[in-house]
Structure 1
Amino acid sequence: MHIDDIEVIAVVGGKGTRLYPLSLNISKPIIDMCNIAVLTRMLEPLVNQGCRKITLASKGYDNTAQLNKYFKDGEAFFSRLGINTKEEFRYQPNYADKGSADSVRYCMDYYNIKDEILVIGGDNIANIDLKGLISWHRKKNALLTVVLKELDAEEDVTQFGVAEADGDLKIHRFVEKPRAEEAPSRLINAGIYLFSPDIIEIFKEMGDRVRDIGGDVMPYLTQKGYPVYGYLLNGYWTDVGSPGRFLRTTLDILHGKIKNVVVLEHNVDENRWIHPTTLTRNSGLARVNLGEHVLIGRECTIGDGVKIKDSSIGHTCIIGENSIIENSVIMSFVNIGKNVRLNGCILGRFTTVEDGSVIDADLNVDYPGDPLERVPVIGGGGVRIVKNSIIGPWKRVAPIKESYRILSTGKFVELGMDGENIYFTNK
């Protein structure tokens, strides 16, 4: 069997609450990462190695309608990567699955899938050697191979499922989000799974217990003694489901750290990608100070004296004179006033930041939060940050109309409100 025989099922049914407010009014898989949907960034490494059969497994009207509108039959996706194929994207029908495993089971049955199935989640981008994974899976005659990533000693394992495995990487159990002292290893579940076609029989055996892959299927398989193995991922891996990790991954793309993931815009030089319409509109950006690792999309207007480095700018943005943008993500249709300073932040679509404002992750604020998640995030559609505002680390801003939706998740704490916005942070 060749790689192009592998069936890829992307389980993208989550609500994306960790990314609030960016995902309040747009499905998480199609939030732009370097001006391309984040799901595209997840699929690129797989397709560039030969995968062609792709099923998008989402549920609910909003998620599925937005995905279908964006990707359609996949022709534009494949064309952008220079791939000529007769294969078309498939979608999970209107089925309210009970979790990732139930979604995979339903899609296998609906599309009569009888080949090996590569399942990816909606939060992970990885440089995975597919030939190596498939070869290992078959060599071990595994029913399920779970891609594992070994975290460095300074990295926190408590946010992941951690594998207990022997020297041959046969998995005996997973401990979900253990205390650091109780973690059986540094090997975490990377959210990528290769199933043998026989898994459909196990799903039948499990009946109504087929819900989540990590929570239900893997414990069942290991307890019953089925061959479940780990495959150690030596390349790049990241979880993009939180603002801090989303920003870090964007910068990694701009720095060329992710193999098989490319920035396809007009190259000014090796480390700068500027769309031709933006160059024309701004006389070649002669009066703009462009540092390295900068992406700027279509039809942007950029004022004199603006400084930009290590940042991704979306399409149709307006940036006022003498503003500074560093280590940031600016999505499409954002207006930035004059003398604004942005550092280490994310601005969602249709945000307006008025003159003299500062949004900076490095401001000195004493707060016991995850250092990676210092990223200020503005989003939710139409947020206006008034003149001379100062927004520091860990703060998120959304339209006040979204207050109940945000706070009812139980994951956030309100910091305050004004006439237009709610300010909040992680619990």
Structure 2
Amino acid sequence: MKAVILAAGYGTRLQRDVSSDRSGRFAHLVGVPKPLLPVGRSPLISRWVRALTRSGTVDGIYVVERLGAVACLQLAVKHFGIQDGVIVIGGDTLFREDFSLGRVAQKVSELQARSADSCLLLCYRCRDEETQKYGILEVDEDLRVLRMKEKPRPSETESRRACPCFYVFSKESLPLLDAFLEEKKDAPIEERDAPGNFVSWLIPRKPVFTQEISGRFDVGNLPSYLDCDVYFSETLQDDESFMV
């Protein structure tokens, strides 16, 4: 497999929080892209590169910075001639210590032994009041994803499976990027930009399954960044094997 890390985006909320802080504690974060934010002793993106390399789950890592997440993925696939399964990772996302790339690879192998075009999403349980922040996965008894609802009210779904930006796409699913972008070429940018929109579009077209994890860090604003930094500075037990 290959890995594509989506490193585009302005980090608008975080930079607004940093600029409005008068303590001076966060001056070193001014203008720093989210993937390069220091998390514990390492930049956020370095933790992914290290884990991907040590786990042996991929034989190529590509970082794409162009704006437009789905277009970024299509650019990487075409420019580098990728003809393999792809792990797509949001450059502002990290997971807790129980997450393992090795277990993800094992699950993908099991799924694709039954159906070669199977894809995998992660999910974690969110609270009722959080459904309106995330894409929520609805699944059947075999954990096959039936649909993703984008930021639904709690009353609109019984599911509390939030989906982070970490997707494993089979090589058979990658040609559908062209079809998706062609279909959405005249749509507003918010309908074709976010990777979750492609995932929603893909679900009825390919077998997509989910694997549950305990949670994630989504570095969107200053409080969420501080929570992430504290975890990796003070709570993480084994930095060397983290996410491997």
For Structure 1 versus Structure 2, the TM-score category normalised by the shorter chain is: 0.7 to 0.9
Structure 2 unpaired stretches of 5+: 19-28, 185-191
Q: Residues 137 and 163 of structure 2 are in contact (CA less than 8 Å); yes or no, is this contact kept in structure 1?
A: yes
SS for the counterpart of 1:185 is: coil
Partner of 1:227: 207
The structure whose residues are more often strand, as a share, is 1
Partner of 1:252: 231
Q: Residues 45 and 260 of structure 1 are in contact (CA less than 8 Å); yes or no, is this contact kept in structure 2?
A: no
- In the TM superposition, what are the counterparts of 1:3-402 in structure 2 within 5 Å? 6-21=1-16, 22=18, 25-50=31-56, 51=58, 53-59=60-66, 99-126=68-95, 127=97, 128-140=99-111, 141=115, 142-151=117-126, 153=127, 156-208=130-182, 209=184, 211-215=193-197, 217-224=198-205, 226-234=206-214, 237-257=216-236, 259-260=238-239
Q: Residues 157 and 177 of structure 1 are in contact (CA less than 8 Å); yes or no, is this contact kept in structure 2?
A: yes
The structure whose residues are more often helix, as a share, is 2
Structure 1 unpaired stretches of 5+: 1-5, 60-96, 264-427
Q: Residues 161 and 177 of structure 1 are in contact (CA less than 8 Å); yes or no, is this contact kept in structure 2?
A: yes
Taking CA–CA contacts closer than 8 Å with sequence separation of 6 or more, which of the two structures ends up with the larger relative contact order? 2
SS for the counterpart of 2:132 is: coil
When Rg is computed on C-alpha atoms for both structures, the one with the higher figure is: 1
CA distance in 1, matches of 2:171, 2:200: 19
Following superposition, the deviation at residue 252 of structure 1 comes to 1.0
1:262–1:251: structure 2 CA closer, same or farther, 3 Å change rule?
Answer: farther
Letter matched to residue 38 of structure 2: D
- Cα-to-partner distance string for 1:155-208 (whole Å, 9 max, x where unaligned): 723211110111211111111111122233111112100111112222233342
Could you say what the CA RMSD is over the residues aligned between the two structures, in angstroms?
2.5
| TM-score normalized with structure 2 length | 0.78
Following superposition, the deviation at residue 119 of structure 1 comes to 0.6
Following superposition, the deviation at residue 259 of structure 1 comes to 4.8
Following superposition, the deviation at residue 109 of structure 1 comes to 0.9
Letter matched to residue 247 of structure 1: L
SS for the counterpart of 1:250 is: helix
SS for the counterpart of 1:223 is: coil
Q: Residues 45 and 259 of structure 1 are in contact (CA less than 8 Å); yes or no, is this contact kept in structure 2?
A: no
CA distance in 2, matches of 1:191, 1:17: 18
State which drifts further: 182-191 or 135-144: 135-144
SS for the counterpart of 2:138 is: strand
Letter matched to residue 149 of structure 1: Y
Following superposition, the deviation at residue 52 of structure 1 comes to 5.1
Following superposition, the deviation at residue 239 of structure 1 comes to 1.2
Q: Residues 128 and 160 of structure 2 are in contact (CA less than 8 Å); yes or no, is this contact kept in structure 1?
A: no
CA distance in 2, matches of 1:191, 1:232: 13
| TM-score normalized with structure 1 length | 0.46
